[in-house]
Structure 1
Amino acid sequence: MRSRAWSVDINGEPYISLQSGSTQFRIQFNIDVSPGSSVSYADIRLYNLNKVSGIANGARIILRAGYTDNIDAIFTGTVTNVLREREPGSPEIITRLICKSGFAVVDRGSAQTCLGPGARVEEVIRDLARQWPIPVDMDDKQFADDQPMIRGCTIDGDIPKAMDNLAYDYDFKWLQHMGRMYVTKPEMKRNSTAIKINQFTGMIGIPEIGLGPSGLGISVSAQLNPSIMINGVIDLTSEFATYNTGNLYVSEVQPEAKPVGEYNVFALRYEGDSHSDTWKVDIDGIRWGTKPDTRSVSTPENGKLIWGASFKENNEPYEPFKAKVIAIAKGLAVDPNWLMAVMAYETGKHKFSPEAQNPKSSATGLIQFLEDTAKKLGTTTKQLSRMTAVQQLDYVKKYYEKAASKPIRNLGDAYLAVLWPAAIGFPDTYVMWERDSGPYRREYKANSHLDKGNKGFITRGDAVSVVNESYSAGGKRSR
């Protein structure tokens, strides 16, 4: 009989042997695999282990999961934090492992690369992978249209940082996962063999269709299948679908927006509980060849943007700011009013001041850039505060292009790209931070005002509610 199965290795040795059937240990896990995040993350909970179970920070971990007829590794990486918790209202003790992909010995490689004029980006990527060292999974054909580097390429230092810069310049996504470096352009054709997803192969629920900056997207859940890979392809068949039209700038759903056909796998989220019904993988896919023509993205029908009337309090003209917000929104394939709602809330009192600063942190400007974030964008918070709002919009654009690794499908996603990008695409019930447990207590404390009802945790819905209010109120101040 086919049943769920899993095992855990620690430091190359079996730690919990293959578990299957109804008498297994209890495990819960959530794994997020999203190119653009550089690494994948896992939150693994093991129940009622011996107190001296021997798992320490820095341990290498491999989690295998699936079914008895198809089980393989779904996460390999390093334990970054070990927590022991008690299940609320229960005597059970949980050993919670917070993990990230990659092993400490090769976590952040360093390279010295010097390729002459005419070098191609795929050559640079393979050279960086060789020096890391880490195997690379990449289809060179996806880079065929990229122009050679006229001045060549010189890199001396941190490889992940170099990859981030290349990804920004050449419009690709990359991820260190399962001991490999995956490099892809999600909107371009892949040559992988497609895995069928339908009601007979374990599809769960109804797929959701939307349109993001990279093209026509699909979100679908299926029984946990380790054969579905981050650089793979799924062949979806479903009679029904729901449509997320938050990013569809058309009056009706396009003819090709059907839950049938091949989609490039863009992101994976594994979720499992060996003592409940949950044992699945959530798949985000993109249909190649459907990247929207940003020229077709319309501005609001009345030509106004929310909160525009509040901009008059700044010492610069509004129209150039408005035009630039609309242009940036077109490039990101999002509603410009989403950006206005986010910036209005982040600057406080909806003034859109490039000097706006949080008195409790370094957060500065239109989307409250932190100092570390500003440095990654090639500037500082001090320099940002001296810019005009129009000038600072260049860095808002750059931030969204680099930080929003997942499709932004609604206002909530646009806000979470600034507040907590890991929550993009999740339902409003998704718990982001907890007050008394987990690795994000500091984030909870800094944002405790978002905890509606003092529950002890903050959900995506709690966070999004403030920007929804900003959006609604901004309609009365449109211009």
Structure 2
Amino acid sequence: MRERVWSIDINGQPYITPQLGRRQFRIQFNIDISPGDAISFADIRLYNMNKGSRIAQGSSIVLRAGYDDNMDAIFTGFVTNSLREREPGAPEIISRLICRSGQPAGDRSSAQLSFGVGTRIEEVLRALAAAWPLPIDIDNAQFADAKPLTSGLVVDGDIPAALTDLAYAYKFDWMQDRGRIVITKRNMPRTTIPVQVDQFSGMIGIPEVSRGPDGLGVFVTVQLNPALRINGKINVESEFATFNTGNLFVSELSGDATANGEYNIFAMKHSGDSHSDLWRTEIDGLRAGTTPTATETATKENGKLIWGARVDQAFRVKVREIAGRLSMDPNWIMAVMGFETGYTFSPAARNPGSTATGLIQFIESTARSLGTSTAQLARMTAVRQLDFVESYFQQYSGRIRNLGDTYLAVLWPVAVGRPDSYVMWERDSGPYQREYAANSGLDVNHNGFITRGEAVASVNASYMRGQQFVR
């Protein structure tokens, strides 16, 4: 029988070995890997660690997990926040590590490079990786049709910013994953050998066909597999499938209406609890050579909602009604609720570090001001809780003009209506150093200031990712 194993390295040294992890400690983790975010995120909880063993903020961390016959790194990065928590009514002390891939403040790389006319984009990307320095994974075949630089290129400064600009121009995705730069085009064929996904290789449940009636995508869960990579492929074989294809009453399914076939891995999530049955990898796949049609894009005009496939019809109807009464785009509200609930849209979603609960993470004082409590909110249906979401946003009626305003009304209302350059919190001075510490992961350029533009980046990503779940 395969046995689950895990380990942690801190600052390049073993911290919890596979033997200790298996026998003495409990771990819970959630690792989100999506090229749309450029970095991956980890939320790691270690139970009953000695108080003197606290892991310092800024420490490098490597989490390895899997089985005794297949164990490897599933996250490499650094600790942005190190917290000690206690669950209500439970004796355990939890060391919670909020982490992101890449390097901590002060280690962000820059370069001064010049590229002449005719340089190929693959050469530019490899040179940027070498200057970082980080290994790079890139498939030259995906750039075979890319035109060489027509007017040269000068990079003088931040390497991640340069990569982001090039990604927009050359239509590729990039991210830092497990200590490497991964470059990929989500729709193009990949030369990697696909990983088999079927009932004999650890598939959990039934795969779900997604992204419209053409069945361009699949969501499938497998036993935790560290061998899966964001630039890899899977080959799904299943006798049955469920369908999340939009309105099947007006759209006909095309193709063979199965989940079977090869898919590029678009995003992944590793989840585990060493003391429960949770030890899995969720895969979001996209068929090579395909893209969702324009009619699947959610807009205020066509009435479709981002993340709409994650909720039921009654929820979607009510969100549209609320948005109409508040003169807001319903997709702004969906993007915020998706991000705040970890894309579960659960009315009981809870932030373990505070009282924050529900669709927009009401804190206890806010819940009381609305005539309820976080305990009552957690017991409501999602549709019922939307009444309180509406009540909350009513106080900002007429002031919310865009997605950023919608999110800041929840996170930091003082910033509603401000420009993206507005500084919300500072690390080393001012009255909001505590708020900076709690949200330091938003400080994208690690300069000790969190601007409105940095704060809304995550909800912008939620908006874009939600286009995968339009209904």
Q: What amino acid maps onto 1:431 in structure 2?
A: A
CA RMSD of aligned residues (A): 4.3
**What displacement does 1:232 show?**
0.9
Map of 1:66 onto structure 2: 66
Q: What amino acid maps onto 1:25 in structure 2?
A: F
Q: Secondary structure at the match of 1:162?
A: helix
Map of 1:2 onto structure 2: 2
Map of 2:450 onto structure 1: none
Q: What amino acid maps onto 2:354 in structure 1?
A: D
Map of 1:180 onto structure 2: 180
CA distance in 1, matches of 2:388, 2:40: 30
Q: Matches of residues 93-108 of structure 1 in structure 2 within 5 Å?
A: 93-104=93-104, 108=108
Contact 1:136 1:180 in 2 (8 A): yes
CA distance in 2, matches of 1:250, 1:287: 23
Q: Matches of residues 345-424 of structure 1 in structure 2 within 5 Å?
A: 349-351=325-327, 415-417=333-335, 421=339
Q: For 1:233-281, what per-residue CA distance to the aligned partner results, in whole angstroms no more than 9, with x for missing partners? A: 1111111111112388961222154211111111110110011110111
Q: For 1:112-140, what per-residue CA distance to the aligned partner results, in whole angstroms no more than 9, with x for missing partners? A: 23222333332322222121111111112
Which blocks of at least 5 consecutive residues in structure 1 are unaligned? 307-324, 353-365, 368-410, 471-479
Q: Secondary structure at the match of 2:53?
A: coil
Q: Secondary structure at the match of 1:219?
A: strand
Q: Matches of residues 74-473 of structure 1 in structure 2 within 5 Å?
A: 74-104=74-104, 108-211=108-211, 216-246=216-246, 251-294=251-294, 297=295, 349-351=325-327, 415-417=333-335, 421=339, 426=344, 428=346, 431=349, 433=351, 436=354, 444-445=362-363, 448=366, 454-455=374-375, 462=382, 466=386
CA distance in 2, matches of 1:116, 1:213: 45
The 1:181–1:249 alpha-carbon spacing in structure 2 relative to 1, beyond 3 Å, is farther
CA distance in 2, matches of 1:51, 1:463: 42
TM norm structure 1: 0.68
The 1:6–1:445 alpha-carbon spacing in structure 2 relative to 1, beyond 3 Å, is same
The 1:299–1:209 alpha-carbon spacing in structure 2 relative to 1, beyond 3 Å, is closer
CA distance in 2, matches of 1:42, 1:165: 26
Q: Secondary structure at the match of 2:126?
A: helix
Q: Secondary structure at the match of 1:127?
A: helix
CA distance in 2, matches of 1:112, 1:215: 45
The 1:59–1:444 alpha-carbon spacing in structure 2 relative to 1, beyond 3 Å, is farther
The 1:24–1:456 alpha-carbon spacing in structure 2 relative to 1, beyond 3 Å, is farther
The 1:54–1:334 alpha-carbon spacing in structure 2 relative to 1, beyond 3 Å, is closer
The 1:251–1:349 alpha-carbon spacing in structure 2 relative to 1, beyond 3 Å, is closer
The 1:249–1:434 alpha-carbon spacing in structure 2 relative to 1, beyond 3 Å, is farther
Map of 1:312 onto structure 2: none
CA distance in 2, matches of 1:447, 1:344: 27
The 1:229–1:120 alpha-carbon spacing in structure 2 relative to 1, beyond 3 Å, is same
Q: What amino acid maps onto 2:87 in structure 1?
A: E
Contact 1:214 1:290 in 2 (8 A): no
Q: Secondary structure at the match of 1:271?
A: strand
TM norm structure 2: 0.69
CA distance in 2, matches of 1:468, 1:344: 14
Q: What amino acid maps onto 1:454 in structure 2?
A: T
CA distance in 2, matches of 1:204, 1:298: 28
CA distance in 1, matches of 2:237, 2:265: 15
Contact 1:76 1:177 in 2 (8 A): yes
CA distance in 2, matches of 1:212, 1:155: 40
Q: For 1:406-441, what per-residue CA distance to the aligned partner results, in whole angstroms no more than 9, with x for missing partners? A: xxxxx7xx7444565486754647836457269x9x
Q: What amino acid maps onto 1:53 in structure 2?
A: S
Contact 1:231 1:264 in 2 (8 A): yes
**What displacement does 1:108 show?**
2.6
Q: What amino acid maps onto 2:187 in structure 1?
A: E
Q: Secondary structure at the match of 1:39?
A: coil
Q: Secondary structure at the match of 2:89?
A: coil
Q: Secondary structure at the match of 2:157?
A: strand
Map of 2:18 onto structure 1: 18
The 1:53–1:424 alpha-carbon spacing in structure 2 relative to 1, beyond 3 Å, is closer
Map of 1:381 onto structure 2: none
Map of 1:404 onto structure 2: none
Q: For 1:49-97, what per-residue CA distance to the aligned partner results, in whole angstroms no more than 9, with x for missing partners? A: 1000041111111111001111111111101111111122111111111
Contact 2:29 2:42 in 1 (8 A): yes
Contact 1:434 1:444 in 2 (8 A): no
**What displacement does 1:443 show?**
6.6
Q: Secondary structure at the match of 1:36?
A: helix
**What displacement does 1:452 show?**
7.9
CA distance in 2, matches of 1:155, 1:169: 15
> Which sits farther off after the overlay, 218-227 or 253-262?
253-262
Q: What amino acid maps onto 1:145 in structure 2?
A: D
**What displacement does 1:187 show?**
0.9
**What displacement does 1:283 show?**
0.7
**What displacement does 1:211 show?**
1.1
The 1:143–1:421 alpha-carbon spacing in structure 2 relative to 1, beyond 3 Å, is farther
The 1:68–1:430 alpha-carbon spacing in structure 2 relative to 1, beyond 3 Å, is farther
Map of 1:57 onto structure 2: 57
Q: Secondary structure at the match of 2:128?
A: helix
Q: What amino acid maps onto 1:436 in structure 2?
A: S
CA distance in 2, matches of 1:287, 1:273: 31
CA distance in 2, matches of 1:422, 1:111: 36
CA distance in 2, matches of 1:264, 1:61: 28
Q: For 1:137-163, what per-residue CA distance to the aligned partner results, in whole angstroms no more than 9, with x for missing partners? A: 111211222333322222222121222
**What displacement does 1:217 show?**
1.1
Map of 2:452 onto structure 1: none
The 1:29–1:159 alpha-carbon spacing in structure 2 relative to 1, beyond 3 Å, is same
The 1:44–1:131 alpha-carbon spacing in structure 2 relative to 1, beyond 3 Å, is same
CA distance in 1, matches of 2:120, 2:249: 36
The 1:185–1:20 alpha-carbon spacing in structure 2 relative to 1, beyond 3 Å, is same
